[in-house]
Chains A and B, each alone.
Chain A
């Protein structure tokens, strides 16, 4: 089955500021209707990438195609994409309705008025049309910014840290709302965020950026279970790293790792030479106590309601965190063993 042509197709996109490479040869294809998150720490180039798609930064190299046509050289006002700014960038000298209607110059007055009203309804701000932005709360301003960016019915909406300025409770509520609006309109969203939890909550696919490069792209579950590096593994949640050396293959996609306390089996992602220094990455909930495994001592156990978190130490001092359903009591203290299913552990370069 031939996959449909991507809505957004980025090839070899690079941005240099003098000697500094902010974005380094990014390839990325986005399907229509997809919710994509660019995740990374500040300064990783994710905002620069977004600004290049919007047209505010001319790329140093590479191309951007939108719906089949090359938009690399188009100025921002000729691109059929819209952007929601981190600061919201609402025009302070215009009413809410004038802000939302700013991009509707091509429509006649009646159509523009109707579209503005529909947008106000979409973000549940009916009756706020005559207000000035500075009389609104942070959450309301955020919704006006979203309505303004969506008013032109773009195929692709870019959102730069859309929830960054909201406080915690409001942020979680707004995440759900953002996702509902995206589902309803079928618009492709590209969200830039530094918050892994937010990315997992929102996105169909996440692209993790590190120092100007896209290090891994995939659905949240894939990134969580099969990270390609220690960096990605640590970014998406708590992870245990057990050092060792790569051993021989032990079946389909599984190989042995020789640790200080014996051999373990784990899934091998990248091809690694035998004897190479590696780490085995295991999520806390994948560690199982007891049975045949690595010798370990339980140092501490904390009851957290839905789970028990245990802190374990291997004989060489490596500390592991295990998390399990609270069946069978706490079982704190004492020697035990720890094991994991090879399918739940992944071998990564050290």
Chain B
């Protein structure tokens, strides 16, 4: 590696991650002032766990993320199976577009349209509506990850199972799904992370008593940043990076389907 490429790499990574590094460092700041360094301390983490509303918001976020990632994983996997294993059925292109659409649509638009729909059908806004909203846009991400794996899966494995007398259901449960497990778990972790991170859609469709962690943090910051936010954000960064690293490890893992 030349000096040039090395410095380009450091600059690039610095540009991307310096703000997060600053945030993490300042979460261990003993000072009350966010911008003044006053020595090392974990007091803000203690304060964080004593902050009732913040912990409540974290619980809401966790429940929403788990529920919506489970729903998105189920729907996304089914969509991927339909796209990759059921030939050219009527409306296939339309369905593909509809599943992947929410990935590229502006979040504000998704949030607004979901809100209008929930009002229209008279559904009370709360945790359920956030779960539905998150599942909607996470489904596409799961479908992408699982589709990619399915395309790489040797078709003759499923054919061999059918040839050995296994009906479609047995082929799916004993061959296709076990071989897709890493991709399905990766998709689930991705959906979990996306749901945990989301502020925009949750803000549109949440109701009283259903404040997620990002919503809580955002509203606190508007009243002034305190080091407790840094601590909360640091924990969130840790959780999200763990999930993303886990997802990429699962996707990259050799599963031995090559002959």
Contacts and interface: CB of A to CB of B under 8 A. Distances in A.
Nearest to A80: B165
Contact of A106 (B162, B163, B165, B170): B165
A77 B178 contact: no
Contact of B157 (A54, A56, A82, A89): A89
Interface stretch (B5-13, B37-45, B230-238, B251-259): B251-259
Nearest to B255: A92
A54 B175 CA distance: 19
B179 A103 contact: no
Interface string A46-74: 00000000111000000000000000000
Contacts of B160: 83, 85, 89-91, 148
**Chain B at the A interface: SS class:** helix
A133 B164 contact: no
Interface string A87-107: 111111100000000110110
Interface string B151-171: 000101101111111110011
Interface residues of B, number: 22
B247 to A, nearest CB: 20
Contact of B175 (A76, A79, A91, A103): A91
Given A102-B166, A134-B256, A91 B161 contact: yes
A86 B160 CA distance: 11
Give the interface size class of chain A. 20 to 34
Contacts, number: 74
Interface string B191-234: 00000000000000000000000000000000000000000000
Nearest to A142: B259
A86 to B, nearest CB: 8
Given A79-B163, A83-B160, A102-B164, 4 more contacts: A77-B165, A91-B161, A148-B160, A151-B164
26 contacts: A56-B162, A76-B162, A77-B163, A77-B165, A77-B171, A79-B163, A82-B163, A85-B160, A87-B156, A89-B154, A89-B159, A89-B160, A92-B179, A92-B255, A93-B179, A93-B255, A93-B256, A102-B161, A102-B164, A103-B165, A105-B166, A105-B170, A133-B256, A141-B259, A148-B160, A149-B163
